[in-house]
Structures are given as structure tokens and as C-alpha cells.
Chain A
Amino acid sequence: MTKYIGKVWLVGDDIDTDLIIAARYLNDASEENMKKHCLEDVIPNFIDKVQKGDILVAGKNFGCGSSREHAPFAIKAAGISCVVAKSFARIFYRNAINIGLPIVIAPEAVEGISTGDNIEVDVKQGFIYNSTTGQEFETETFPPFIQEIIEAGNLLNYVRNRVKSDG
């Protein structure tokens, strides 16, 4: 899938991995536990409010801090379909791609989006349409190699295909 339509949750700059999923919960990596505490220190009771398919929109340097894959995993587990940000911290960026959480870098678009807006994100064509305001923005697209990982679903599928074809 390369197109996501959903309601927006907007968060600020430098949202770190401890805010996405606090280290105190990392002694249990289960989907249930990750989901339950996702973003709880940023948006109180987030998990009770978020709906499947919603889109998370963030300022700059989203996901800075630790390498924990639990962070994109928690966001995915919470039902978020796609994350749009002005920029991503690099390990978060890799992790999201590797686990198959769609992410988009779109500094201009973020300025024109508010919580509650309905937006449409096309990862492949590289645009975001805000149907609440009627604005449309261009976004960056991924280089071909990363596109291949995304098309395989995640890094493991991609590696598995390669391990197999190597015999």
C-alpha cells in the first residue's frame, strides 16, 4: 500500500523515543504493552483516543534518542498508518523503514496541518492532500533501494528473498 487517508494527531519538535515509549516499559516488548503506553506522556490517554488508520504528524527530529525499535513498533501497534514529519532522527528513520511503518519527510506540509484535519498521504507519488483545508503539498520520495525494502513489506522479507536467491 502506498496511500494513506486518516485523521491527524499533531505533535511538536524533538519528540524523543522516551516520549514515544518510555524505557520503564521496555522490560516487556509485547505488542499489547507497547501499544498501551505509546505516546502517553505527550498525549494523555492517547491509546483510548487514537483510531486505526490515523496519521501522526510531527515537527523536526522526530524519534531522537535511543535506538529502540519499540518506538516505531509502538506507533504501528497503536494503529497509526503513517508518520509525517519535518525531519526524522536517523535511527528512527531506519527502524521505521525496516519494520514497515510508512514515514514521510515533508517540512512544508507539517506547517499546514492541524490536529483533527483529514489528510491523504501518497508515499509513492510524493504528495500530501489536506482535505480539511484543501491544500496540497509535495513530499520527498524514497531512493529506489529503500523503495525495494518498502515494497517487500520490511527489511526481513527483503533479506529473506536475498538469502533464498543466494541459495
Chain B
Amino acid sequence: MGMTISEKILAAHAGVEEVQAGDLINAKVDVVLSNDITGPVAIQEFRKLGVEKVFDKEKVVIIPDHFAPAKDIKSAEQCKVIRDFAREQDLTHYYEVGQMGIEHCLLPEKGIVAPGDLVIGADSHTTTYGALGAFATGVGSTDVAAAMATGEVWLRVPETIKVVLKGKPQNPWVVGKDVILSLIGRIGVDGALYQAMEFAGEGLKYLSMDSRFTIANMAIEAGAKNAIMAFDELTRDYVVGRVHKPYVYYHSDPDAYYVQEIEMDLGSLKPQVAFPHLPSNTRDIDQVGDVAIDQVVIGSCTNGRMEDMRTAAKVLKGRKVHPYIRLIVIPGTQEIYQKCIKEGIVDTVIEAGGVFSTPTCGPCLGGYMGILAKGERAVTTTNRNFVGRMGHPESEVYLASPAIAAASAIKGKICSPENL
């Protein structure tokens, strides 16, 4: 029987001809990622193994992004643990404040992940790299510790759900965020539990790489093990000049097995908003009603890329943020930050009355740089609206695209740019 892209990548990395859903394999990894929260735990566990050196200093990647630039003394200590380890192990891909960005924006940008790679990361949004045609999945710190020592990880080969995207978006503001929110709304936060989510269909070609990263990023919000998209012209254009290692790309066989097929029509899709407290709690923008807000955050590994910054600026240009609203814009990486300066996006945000920050996860996980007080509401382009995610347990987070978030900042309540 044929295999899916996910199965082909796993087979290649397990050194076998064929794998099937349900098989438990030991596979070789191309990238092992951790950050300033999960890295220190992984390093502590790595030490217990009594191994001196990581298996490959090119393949172990650690990024300080969650509470960095360090927000307090304890965060500084955690950053120091990973910094010291990176120096001791002479890691090629450690990025200090000043070069770092939010990990899932940074790794593709630096060409660290290539199509066909097997990536594990002690961060659930590691699924992002599926947009490049890599098998990328989130694991825990202990997995990372074991993989840093051995270069291997145990995995259960997942079943694959095929999501067939049809048609072309008709609403000018519809982007990847709306595709994935709408899908999660349909199948639920455990709708793809333990499974691979393969995005296919002719609709894919209308989605930019940045939109595809957003979609793959939030596959975990439906419980998926990984997201995957076949390599095409757009992928090629993206990796040229970034990826300098040889890579192999795969396509699913016509007779590959899928547990489920879901069709999505992009033509009728409207901008989506996920209400508290689950990403599956979605509504079409015209069904939102009157929701007054206090804060807007545009950024994160979901929507902190160039296209997101440009869209936000397009909406904000020549307008003013509502006087009661705090708008915080955070580019995903230094490269994006610099482009925002050159393209005048930083000026646009500041003239509109917003804050433009250095790259960091910050408010996305309720870390710092925009925490919500009791009873406050935020519209954000991040990926989770769990209870207390952005601050007080009685605050509320509404998830949306950069266009909706920027428009809401101007209006003071949730709305589409069409209603400005």
C-alpha cells in the first residue's frame, strides 16, 4: 500500500522501507529544539545521562524567546542555563538576544529546517515546520534530553487526516488563520488527537508561505501530532537561499491510507474569531456581536511574520487606535523587525498610537509585555485563549487574524476592516 508524506519521512528516518500507522519506531532526528522554558529542564535531564557531548552540535537548537530579553531574575537564570550550555557545547544554532526571534519564525527563516526533515521540539508549536514539508512535532524536555544524547526519538506513526482545501478565498481579509480556526471549530480541540493533518487540494496554492506556517502552527490546537503540506513552487521559492543542506521532498502516494477526509471551501470562508476559552469556540466575524475590548496583540509564532505585519499596517495606516485600547505589535524575528523599519511599518504603528516591541513570546503565554488584569479582554493573533493564558484567570482572550485584530484596535471592539 502507498504511504503518506508523513509516513515516508518517518520510514526514511527509522531506516526502514515502510511504516504503517500505529508502528512504534525509533527515528533519527535532524533538528532537536528547545527554548528558555523547556531547555533548562532538558539540560538538567541531559546531565543525568552522563553523556559529555550532544550527538551533533549542528542539530541541537536552543532559542531564548519566551521570557527573553529576561523579564526578571528567575528568567535571567533560566536564560543563563541555556546560554552556558550552548557555549559549552559550541552549538551552531544558539541565537542570543539581538539575533534571536520567536523560535518558530526564526528556524524556517534561518534555513535550519529543510523539507523532508524530522524535527522534534520541546514546544508544542513545533508543528509549524510542516508547512515546509518536514515532519515536525512537539515533545517534552525529557525527549529532548534523550535526543540531544542519542540523536533519536521514539514515535508512534500517526494516522493521517487529509484536509482538502477547495476554491479560492473570496473575502479579501481571509488568510491562513481563518482556515485553521474554522477547521478547529469544526473538528474540536481533540479532533485530530495523535494524528497527522495533511493539507492538500488546489486551494493550497492561494495560501502564502506565511499563511501556511500559521495553519501548521495551530494544528496542535486540534490535538494533531504534526501538520504536513507537500512541497511546491512556493516552498521552493521560500527555501532557496535559506536552506544550505541537501534535502529530499516527498509526496503522498495516490493509494495512501487516510483515516478521514475533510473538505473545506475557501471561497465561502469568512474571517474567524475564537471566543474564550478554547480555540475551537469559533464564529464568523459577522456573528461576533458587540464585544468591547481593552487590548490588542499582533505577533507570536502564529502571526508575527512579514505578511502579518504588512496586513496590520495596511489596516492601521492613517488611522488612530481607539483611546481606550492598548495595541502591542511584536515582530517574530530581527529580520522581520528590520523590514518593518524599512517599509515604514514601525512608523505606521507608532503614529496610530501602538507599541512596537523587540521580538519575544511575551504576552502570548502571559509572560510579560502586556498582561491582562481581572475582567479585561484582548483580541490577539496568538494561538491559545485558555483560561488565564494572557494574565488574570478572569481575563478573556479572543483569537483572530492580524486584519481583524488591527481593525478591532481602532474600533475598540471586535470588528473587520470592512466595518471601519
Contact = CB atoms under 8 A, between A and B. Distances in A.
Contacts of A27: 67, 71-72, 74-75, 78
Contact of A41 (B45, B67, B189, B388): B388
A29 B72 contact: no
Residue of A99, A146, A156 with most partner-chain B CB within 10 A? A156
A87 B193 CA distance: 9
A68 B42 CA distance: 11
A66 B124 contact: yes
Interface in A139-167: 143, 145-146, 154-156, 159-160, 162-163
Interface in A1-58: 14, 16, 18-19, 22-24, 26-29, 41
Contacts of B140: 67-69, 91, 94-95, 98-99
B200 to A, nearest CB: 22
A130 interface: no
A60 B139 CA distance: 20
Interface string B101-133: 000000000000000000001111010000000
Interface residues of A, number: 39
B136 interface: no
A22 B154 contact: no
Interface string B224-260: 0100000000000000000000000000000000000
Given A27-B74, A155-B146, A156-B48, A69 B141 contact: yes
28 contacts: A14-B189, A14-B278, A16-B384, A16-B387, A18-B386, A19-B386, A19-B388, A22-B388, A22-B393, A23-B365, A24-B391, A27-B72, A27-B74, A41-B388, A61-B190, A61-B223, A64-B189, A68-B38, A70-B41, A89-B193, A91-B140, A155-B142, A155-B143, A156-B142, A156-B145, A160-B49, A163-B49, A163-B149
Nearest first, the 4 closest Cβ-Cβ pairs linking A and B are A95-B140, A23-B365, A61-B190, A98-B142
